[in-house]
Structure 1
């Protein structure tokens, strides 16, 4: 159990540990420590509030009385108008609840608006003075969970969250994404080399046509622009075909991957209804990136075509 050593020390100091479990030397040491500790709290790195709480723990327990603390027998009554009925969850449905599901839907018996509930429970003295043992802080999807946890801890509260798990999971996903991106860049490099080779071959095969263009007045810039445009068009059609193929395969793979994940989640519901997402920016950036790669790949063949001398080109072949 977490902090078990601290709990064991607290039980011993408060006299809650059976004497038969301790030796005579341990009993004497604990009695000495209990006597001198309240006067030595300033030697510890404790705030004034923490010192006050520790002093309360070290105070001897009050003598038992027949009086009920905080009027624990008192009840609160009020009249309400029923707006709806929530069905109680079955045992199977309770097992399917996840930490992200609303706790009150599985445990609550009645639901009141905050202001109404406050007026009702403020009639109970122990509720008014005791406060709350815990509170749930929920972060909206996409929110900065580590920052929220840090701010709550800065207020002096202890937290239990998935921040550490989230950081580890994010690190693993980042490493996997980096590896996949590396393979993608290698594939793009190979594709760029293939496009360059194709356009160089095209320049060689159309040397005589380039000579005719230069002979009738085409400038080097126009010839170069012609081959760069051809490379850009290859990028446009290639990106469109690739995106269409990816979207079609994703529609089939989505159901298959969801089936695999559902088999590992033991009947729990997924937070997302789809695995593969194609936002609008992805379509635009993919086409722009493909056009940029193919245009750069066509740069060398275009420069080579622009530098061909018209007379030599007309003699070719």
Structure 2
């Protein structure tokens, strides 16, 4: 087991970043993460203007994985997400989908009790622990941890949770994986600009996959396969996510391109992950129930 504390953070995914940890292919790693505000918010009454936005969306890392080389795929299996402390949420003018309707900033702190987020005396929301920021270093210029692109990043996909295996591209030697922005709960869209932001401890297994032409980012869960795409518009992201799923289907099964497209129109769900980041993120989900054995492993 390889531990890493949350003091090892970056604010952009960068091929020139110095690794905070080097691990063997197949290693199990446990890391700590700050919440997306780097734990700056301690009270609902804290002055909003004192929030340092340059410290938002820190990611713990980067982690150098031995044997990972450009063209490989990094498989990240999320074994456990342990939440630490209360959750924080905010919204306000010019934030989120309806920022134009708001005239003042609002900060809320939510306790977590018996696997539920206590929103109010009447409303307790079941947890759906998920990772908002996870990615590898891009081959080109650094990309802010707050921006999702083909390398992963701030995808805010609620399906990146315990038990799944996420596939990310390896663009540089060692991959340089970084993770942060864990949510205790978040719905598709993240319309207020934040989920229930919380510090965490994450345990994951890192495996390098060679000689596979899978589209990334993508993931496999117990019951579905998902392709994830981010782009300046939802239309562009939708096209990429769908095209990537078609590629997976034609590569892994015997269906033709036309059949794959028709199958997705019948059984695939195109869903919004988030609409509040510099790029928008969508996912295409396809249940695995149509195959007696998983053809994507």
TM-score by length of structure 1 reads 0.17
TM-score by length of structure 2 reads 0.18
Higher helix share: 1
